[in-house]
Amino acid sequence: MVSYYVNQKSLLTGEHEVHRSDCEHLPNIKSLYCLGSLDSAEEAILEAEKYFVKVKGCEFCCNVDAIT
C-alpha cells in the first residue's frame, strides 16, 4: 500500500489533485490532506471525492482517466 495525499488548494480548473507520497510533483506539505495508505490511485481519488467535488489524479503519479 502507498500513502496518498490530496492538495487542499485547487488548480486553476477548480480541481483538487491527488498525489502518491513519492511523487516528484508533490505540492508543499502544508497544503496537503492525507488520504491514508490505499491500494490504488483509483481508490485514492474516490476517497478524495468525499472531501472535494472536483478531483483528478496527478498526471505523473495517479493518471487514471477512467475515474471521474
C-beta separation of 20 from 4 below 8 A: yes
Q: pLDDT per residue over 11-64, tens digit each?
A: 999 999 999 999 999 999 999 999 999 999 999 999 999 999 999 999 999 987
| DSSP β-ladder status, 55-57 and 2-7 | unpaired
pLDDT value of position 64: 76
Regarding pTM above 0.75, the answer is yes
Give dist(CA 48, CA 68) in Å, integer. 11
